[in-house]
Chain A
Amino acid sequence: MSEQKKPPSNPFFGSLFKIKPTKPGEVYGVPGQGDSLLISAISALCLIGFWSLATWAGWIKPLFLPSPIAIFNKFVQVSTEGFAEKTLFEHTRISVLRVFGALILACATAIPVGLAMGMSRVMRGIFDPPIEFYRPVPPLAYLPLMIVWFGIGELAKVLLIFLSIFAPVAIGTRSGVRSAAIEQVHAAYSLGASPWQVLTQVILPAALPEIITAVRIGMGVGWTTLVAAEMVAATSGIGFMVLSASQFLQTSTVIMGIFIIAAIAYAFDMLMRFLERKLVPWKGHA
């Protein structure tokens, strides 16, 4: 036997992606296998630690980056004393209400429209041009138009967010219509279903996983749009708070606001994942 030659391996990445024989319960060669929660926690702690060190040692001026403690103090202060005559809770509440109002409005319209587009050639023909026209345009580009049409009140903001959520939900629902296997549809018809029953009892439930994914994406887009809209024309809301604080160089309020925005977006996503597990436990099994 000649000496066995090992296949070539990259000196750096080779060791990073090294495959060891697996323990029972694992599968050999699955990329990126294993739990990364502990590593993530350490990574986050290191970032905060480095941030604390940098501000404590005076490497960065507080005007640019206040210390984590200063930010927490600001959080407590705005929660109790408020910012621009409203407490943090009130700013958060109004932002969340705007997004949820727009989300409910968007789901109530975009899901039926998406279903209609998926089910009918005529409906698809009618709705495709307007949706495909405005969908790729950033909401901030048509915000001025919304303000001209609907003023700077709640209506313009909610409509802007509504529009940003509508397109992804309608498109997701439309493609979800294709999720039902043709055998499921045929089975329902051969059991005596009417077209309406097939729609409500086969196609809609089969599309639900994709609809939920679409709503989840829509929620993310809506939240992004909300903050942007509040930065342009508002006297309340988290986005307003961040922009207005930046104009007074209150960096700690800006960073605190960013953390709140991130935390709420994360909570939204967790909520959607929870709903997904509750509503479509069969997802990935069918």
Chain B
Amino acid sequence: MGSLHVDQVTVEFPLGPNTPPVKALSNVQLEIQQGEFVVALGASGCGKSTLLNLLAGFLSPSTGQIKLNGNIVAGPGADRAVVFQKHALLPWLNVIDNVAFGLKLRGIGKSERHEIARKHLKQLGLEAFETHPVYQLSGGMQQRVGIARALASDPEILLMDEPLGALDALTREKAQELIIRIWKESSKMVFFITHSVEEALFMGTRLIVMSPRPGRITHTFDLDFSKKFLAGADARAVKASPEFIGMREQVLKIIFGDEEASGGDHV
């Protein structure tokens, strides 16, 4: 069973010799178990992207440590694949070579890596677009290629940094359902950042709400809306249910409270 531990992590950014450093994250404690889908939500500047960069290994903590399956994270690696909001595909490669890119880096032969890539393209409904240039795809399809690429290298955890933020509302809802299904199939750990409360509640098995200055986790909620969806409930029906709406308003109140407390002018 895989697991990820974030243990008393603090991140400070130095501002200069005469100013005290900014605390981007303060004493963050988080544990993700195999099969969990953890969603981070919070006002701008609450440190959720900092947290994702820590997990990815792009940033090292000032104090505390991060462990994946018992090993300390000290830099980026193929066991933690990142899905970005955009601009992360390689336009000189076609769809299948983008998906197979991580396998190519590992030295896996062409026919084998294409076979693996094909499996993931199929999973994401992109099998008809194998040889298309990625820059000709729509935004939603490009994100699916990004997800297929992350899955193809078979990571322990998927780190998703607002992967649906740039999509239109309709495509976004379809993509949410697709990601939940794929997560269920692969039973990987997921750490997912979003700005949408509805998306967070619908997708996660656990929600962490973060607050700025210093960035920290203030609330944690266990969720079961995605379970209802996977059990066959209609996505819109889940999102329109009284429990869902009640929870949404509760979370929104927390986040708006943070916005007001911090002046609310830094959008």
Contact = CB atoms under 8 A, between A and B. Distances in A.
5 contacts: A186-B82, A192-B77, A193-B105, A205-B92, A285-B91
A137 interface: no
Contacts of A187: 82, 84, 88, 146, 149
Contacts of A186: 56, 58, 76, 82, 84, 88
Interface of B: 56-58, 76-78, 80-82, 84-92, 101-102, 104-106, 133, 135-136, 146, 149-150, 153, 159
Interface residues of A, number: 23
Nearest to A194: B105
Given A191-B78, A192-B153, A197 B105 contact: yes
Contacts of B149: 187, 191
Interface of A: 181, 183-184, 186-194, 197, 201-202, 205-206, 208, 280-282, 285-286
Contact of A183 (B88, B133, B136, B150): B88
Interface of A is mostly: helix
Nearest to A205: B92
A188 B105 CA distance: 9
Contacts of A184: 87-90
B76 A183 contact: no
Contacts of A197: 105
A190 B152 CA distance: 12
Contacts of B136: 285
Contact of A282 (B76, B91, B105, B106): B91
Nearest to B78: A192
A183 B86 CA distance: 8
Contacts of A183: 84-88
A12 B106 CA distance: 66
A181 B101 CA distance: 16
A282 B133 contact: yes
A282 B84 CA distance: 20
Contacts of A282: 91-92, 133, 135
A250 to B, nearest CB: 51
B153 A191 contact: yes
Contacts of B133: 281-282, 285
Nearest to A208: B92
B105 A190 contact: no
A41 B151 CA distance: 56
Contacts of A202: 90
A190 B76 contact: yes
Given A189-B57, A190-B81, A285-B135, 19 more contacts: A181-B87, A183-B84, A183-B85, A184-B87, A184-B88, A186-B56, A186-B76, A187-B146, A188-B101, A189-B58, A190-B56, A190-B76, A191-B81, A192-B102, A192-B105, A194-B105, A201-B104, A202-B90, A205-B90
